[in-house]
Chain A
Amino acid sequence: MRALESPPALLDLARSIRAGDTTAEAATERCLAAIGERDGSINAFITVTADAARDAARTADRELASGRDRGPLHGVPMSIKDILDIAGLPTTAASRVRRNHVAARDAIVVARLRDAGAVFVGKTNLHEFALGTTNEESAYGPVHHPLDPTRSPGGSSGGSAASILAGMAFASMGTDTGGSVRIPAAACGLVGLKPVFRDVPTQGVVPLSTSLDHVGPLCATVADAAAIYRVIADAPGFAASPQPGDPRELRLGVPRRYFLDLLDDDVARAFDETCARLAAAGVRLDDVTIPHAAEIGAVYLHVALTEAAAFHSRTLETQPDDYTPTVRARLEAGRYVLAEDYIRALRGRDVLRRDVMAALEGHDALLLPALAVPATPLGAATMRVSGVDEPVRNVTLRLTQLFNLTGHAAITVPCGTTGGGLPIGAQLAAPSTAGLLAVAATLEPWIRGQAVTSPRLT
């Protein structure tokens, strides 16, 4: 297994480009070289756009040389999950169902990144239609974890996470319907941000479950996430670099029951150590409860599968064999949900939203692990956790899907590694994305257990 090295921050690269230490073209060539060297075994990319990336990088360098600076993403190589449209390219969603699709225009998020000067090196692999957490069901084959090829990097934005960890991109855009940004970010030692619902437009993104879908970045640091959020969000006036505050002024709620009941031993240890570091820094940690936490999975399943089935009903009839068998089965199952149970789930969703709001009262954010287990072995149907055999899908979604139901902002920050060196992530959740980023920026050094060396570029 390879050793975990923190990937470079995009704000570091932005500073280096402006200092004349490197160029956008050189950074892009390094990413393309890494793709050439490593993607044969990792399989992070479905489409590599080398020529377009080189052109965009040279343009970025020329603009900077002439005094036009589009901001911190100018000239930064990024990858895009292949569920967001890039004009002129297929948006496969990792499915044979969409083999004839070519996007007519950029997704709004992609257009905003392009306007900000980002360089797109390619489109990344994912779990088919984002309906899974391992990327094993993809028409383009599974994504392998850059640190251990026998494991999944998490999903569904697995190719995005793997591309950053393997040095093929400095950041990536993913989507998160039940945890699909935060799960791979945690499994790969990255920061992953799910903004507040509807903070970031989803036009030009293939939907999974329209009331749960979010678009968000995967990257190296909280400051990187803030810089990307500023570009992609409908959030005028948001400061790109939230200034770290005083941890002694922060108060976090820790929902222990349910959320800490089913954890891998290494994850439990790392989370305990994170809480101890934060407490030592002066952060006040209070136990809180989500009274209806036991019903999260049931509510989520009914909302997610029903909405997904509605989107896929025609192609399930006309192209059933173009789906991978497991994804097809999940979508077909959603067609059997009774309307009365869907209504019960919607009511439960309101109750869960109220539970989270109550738990947040008097607190700046909630703190919990992001992923109950380290990166899962490819091919595993179940994992033994706390003495119980749990389906991989259930155990990986367990700690993230709540905030898709409630719409709260959530972010994962690396908080340690297993004895074997696999990354572990902590998760913060808060009512506003800007507020969450400010809390995360303040606490990042203590969550990581090490200094964040990345500079903040305003």
Chain B
Amino acid sequence: MTPDHWLESARTDAARRGLPDLQASLEGLARAARLLRAADWNGDASGGSGLDAGAPAPAR
């Protein structure tokens, strides 16, 4: 599920539950999720295993 799909789904469910005030918080979480998924520590099943948290910090 992409963050965009997640946001759409969460918005729909929040509306169904009568929680329209959630919009801003959900949008903030979606922005944060996009950042998390783009971070260089993530592994990829087709390739790298991601940053080793025990290894020295990489230069960036």
Q: A302-B32, A336-B10 are in contact. Are A295 and B39 (CB under 8 A)?
A: yes
Would you list 7 pairs from A and B whose C-beta atoms are within 8 A, ordered by A residue? A291-B59, A297-B32, A298-B36, A302-B32, A330-B25, A336-B13, A336-B29
Asked whether, in the complex, the Cβ of B1 is within 8 Å of the Cβ of A338, the reply is yes
Given contacts A298-B39, A305-B29, A354-B53, 18 further A-B contacts (CB under 8 A): A291-B57, A291-B59, A291-B60, A295-B35, A297-B35, A301-B28, A301-B32, A326-B21, A329-B21, A329-B24, A333-B26, A333-B28, A333-B29, A336-B26, A347-B50, A351-B41, A354-B55, A354-B57
CA distance A330 to B32 in the complex (A): 14
- With A and B bound together, what is the CA distance between A339 and B6 in angstroms? 12
Given the known inter-chain contacts A292-B39, A345-B36, A347-B42, please indicate yes or no for A332 contacting B19, CB distance below 8 A.
Answer: yes
Binary interface encoding of chain B residues 14-33 relative to chain A, with 1 for a CB under 8 A from any of its CBs, else 0:
10000101101110110111
Q: A338 vs B59: C-alpha distance in the bound complex, in angstroms?
A: 30
B22 and A329 within 8 A (CB): yes
Contacts of A354 in B (CB 8 A): 53-55, 57
Interface of chain A: mostly helix, strand, loop or mixed: helix
Measured in the bound complex, the distance between the Cα atoms of B60 and A291 in whole Å is 6
Q: A337-B29, A347-B42 are in contact. Are A299 and B21 (CB under 8 A)?
A: no
B42 nearest CB neighbor, chain A only: A344
Residues on A with beta carbons closer than 8 Å to the beta carbon of B36: 295, 298-299, 302, 341, 344-345, 348
Q: Tell me whether A329 and B53 are in contact (CB under 8 A).
A: no
Contacts from A to B (Cβ < 8 Å): 289, 291-292, 294-295, 297-299, 301-302, 305, 325-326, 328-330, 332-333, 336-338, 341, 344-345, 347-348, 350-351, 353-355, 358
A333 touches B22 (CB 8 A): yes
Residue among A294, A298, A332 facing the most chain B CB atoms (10 A cut-off) = A298
Query: Chain B residues with Cβ under 8 A from A295's Cβ?
Result: 35-36, 39
Task: Report Cα–Cα, A358/B37, bound state, in Å.
Answer: 24
B55 to chain A: closest residue by CB: A354
A326 vs B56: C-alpha distance when bound (angstroms): 40
> CA A355 – CA B13 in complex, angstroms?
38
B48 CB-CB contact with A under 8 Å = no
Which residues from B are CB-within-8-Å of A341?
Answer: 33, 36-37
CA distance A295 to B42 in the complex (A): 13
Q: How far is the CA of A372 from the CA of B40 in the complex (A)?
A: 27
Cβ of B25 and Cβ of A333 under 8 Å apart?
yes
B57 (CB) vs chain A CBs: closest residue: A358
* Chain B residues in 8 Å Cβ range of A329: 19, 21-22, 24-25
- B60's nearest neighbour on chain A, judged by CB, is A291
Q: Assess whether B58 is interfacial by the CB under 8 Å rule.
A: yes
Q: Which residue of B lies closest to A305 (CB)?
A: B29
CA distance in complex: A353, B54 (Å) = 10
For B29, the closest partner residue in chain A by CB is: A333
Given A292-B41, A329-B21, A333-B22, residue A350 in contact with residue B57 (CB < 8 A): no
Asked if A344 meets B26 with Cβ closer than 8 Å, knowing A297-B32, A302-B32, the reply is no
Q: Which residue of B lies closest to A359 (CB)?
A: B57
Complex contact A291–B29 (CB within 8 A): no
Chain B positions within 8 Å of A344 at CB level: 36-37, 39, 41-42
